[in-house]
Amino acid sequence: MSALRSFRPLLRSSLAPARRTYASQTSGNPVLEIFNRKTKHIQKDRAAQNVEESRKVDYLKDEVAMRLCERLLDIKRTFPNVLDLGANSCNIARALTTPIPNLDPDTGAETHDATTLSDRIGNLTCVETSPALLNRDIDLPFNRNLPISREVIPDLESLPYQPNTFDAVLSSLSIHWINDLPSLLAQVNSILKPDCPFIAAMFGGDTLFELRTSLQLADLERRGGVSPHVSPLADVRDVGGLLTKAGFKMLTVDVEDIVVEYPDTFALMADLQAMGENSAIMQREAGPISRDVLLANEAIYRQLHKEEDSRGIPATFRLIYMIGWKEGEGQAQPLARGSGQVNLKDILGGGDFRP
Amino acid sequence: MPSTRTRPIEKFAKATSKCAVEAAAYGKCIVADYQGVHKDMCAKEFMRLKDCFLVKLRSTPMTGYV
């Protein structure tokens, strides 16, 4: 009897006419989702809720924000309306309000007047998906030196701003979590006013290659297969193409490695987690990495990447800095190819290898 | 609020750091042929590392980590 009953639903469904669902159209440009945005959001929120720990691991984001803001020094302009895209804990705002000492051109010594970039900025809009992270430092003194408006948006991949709104868009260590970078860059280009810059820093290519390789080896040897633990990242070579495709002009892309020394791989992974930078790949396994793999990883990392004379292990962060300008009237244009009159070799010298 | 309670990961790290010899032996085994790594290639070395780790883990107190 029970066997018969279990057959019933099967029979009924095979006899019933095929059910039609509503026709739906997928949006024009399907995007491969690599990162789970919801997971990322939760990770950032959770990390920022432990305020003490979260501030302690801001060393990387603060350093990169400083270096990013130094690039603003070269642009002799005022920026009435600036967007910080993916602000984290407003690290850029903090960097902008930190005075940068000027060097005397003759002696090389520090002069008394320092440049504070925030003087040149009218209003900074910080957008972030995680309210806990965005508002973490809302009470700190630097907030008083610069008008900051904090905005939480549900998704960094679709920006709720009108075209031609901002005089500059800055972004530090956020856009490496974006699934559809071409679309985001096109949106950034659109919300910028003509002849205004987009300046960003992101993790790229070889970031955390040590951890990536040693985890792969540990996974392979312990479990016989590899599962992704470290995000795929954009390569320097791709960035130029991406910016051009999004309509930016006069590109500058450069790369910088920051190597941080950690006592062991556990400290490295704990710090990444406290930064909210732990893996959010769609295809990753649920749950934490197994204890065996962690143990194996620690041994392999040390053997493979530790320098002879150092006590700790190195972790490389590769930063890609990019500057692109929205097209505008009166903007400097590159000359046509082949129109050069002076040979660079005559100015710079070199070019022949005879001693 | 400084907490005196050791986080599990710190205990894990401390226990592992006490097995440097076993860890180095396992690491050397992997690195010796890192392009041909397969499952349980260094199982013997790993078990030695894990045995050491488990012993040290038991003897690591939960407080007083600096």
Q: Is the pTM of this model over 0.95?
A: no
CB A198 within 8 A of CB A327: no
Question: Would you call A299 and B12 a contact, using CB atoms and an 8 Å cutoff?
Answer: no
Beta bridge partner(s), residue A202: A320
Question: Would you call A291 and B12 a contact, using CB atoms and an 8 Å cutoff?
Answer: yes
CB A82 within 8 A of CB A124: yes
Distance separating alpha carbons of residues A74 and B35, to the nearest angstrom = 47
Helix or strand holding residue B53 (H, E) = helix B43-59
Q: Regarding the domain delimited by A33-102+111-205+232-260+315-328, which CATH topology (the fold level of the hierarchy) does it fall under?
A: Rossmann fold (3.40.50)
Write the DSSP string, A287-354: SPPPHHHHHHHHHHHHHHH--TT-SSEEEEEEEEEEEEEE--TT---PPPTT---S-HHHHH------
Question: Would you call A304 and B34 a contact, using CB atoms and an 8 Å cutoff?
Answer: yes
CB-side neighbour CA atoms (13 Å) of B21: 3
> Residue A29 carries which DSSP code?
S
Chain A residues closer than 8 Å to B37 by CB: 217, 220-221
Residues A333-352 pLDDT 10s: 878 888 888 888 888 877 66
Chain B residues closer than 8 Å to A302 by CB: 23-24, 27
Name the amino acid, one letter, at A213: T
Q: Where are the domains of chain A?
A: 33-102+111-205+232-260+315-328
Quickly tell me which residue has 């509503």 as its tokens: A22
For the record, the structure tokens of A114 come out as 């320092």
Per-residue pLDDT of chain A (355 residues; tens, 9 = 90+): 444 444 444 444 445 556 666 766 655 666 778 899 899 999 999 999 999 999 999 999 999 999 999 999 889 999 999 999 999 999 999 999 998 888 777 877 777 778 889 999 999 999 999 999 999 999 999 999 999 999 999 999 999 999 999 999 999 999 999 999 999 999 999 999 999 999 999 999 889 999 999 999 999 999 998 888 898 899 999 999 999 999 999 999 999 999 999 999 999 999 999 999 988 888 777 778 899 999 999 999 999 999 888 889 999 999 999 999 999 988 888 788 888 888 888 888 776 666 5
Q: Where are the domains of chain B?
A: 21-59
The C-alpha angle A321, A323, A327, rounded to 5 degrees, equals 160
Residue in A221, A264, A291 closest to B17 by CB: A264
Residue in A52, A224, A298 closest to B39 by CB: A224
Question: Would you call B27 and A300 a contact, using CB atoms and an 8 Å cutoff?
Answer: yes
Handedness of CA A207, A212, A214, A215 (dihedral sign): positive
Residue in B9, B26, B39 closest to A223 by CB: B39
Question: Would you call A222 and B39 a contact, using CB atoms and an 8 Å cutoff?
Answer: yes
Residues A156-193 pLDDT 10s: 999 999 999 999 999 999 999 999 999 999 999 999 99
Please choose, from the candidates A284, A145, A155, A168, the residue with its C-alpha nearest in 3D space to the C-alpha of residue A227. A284
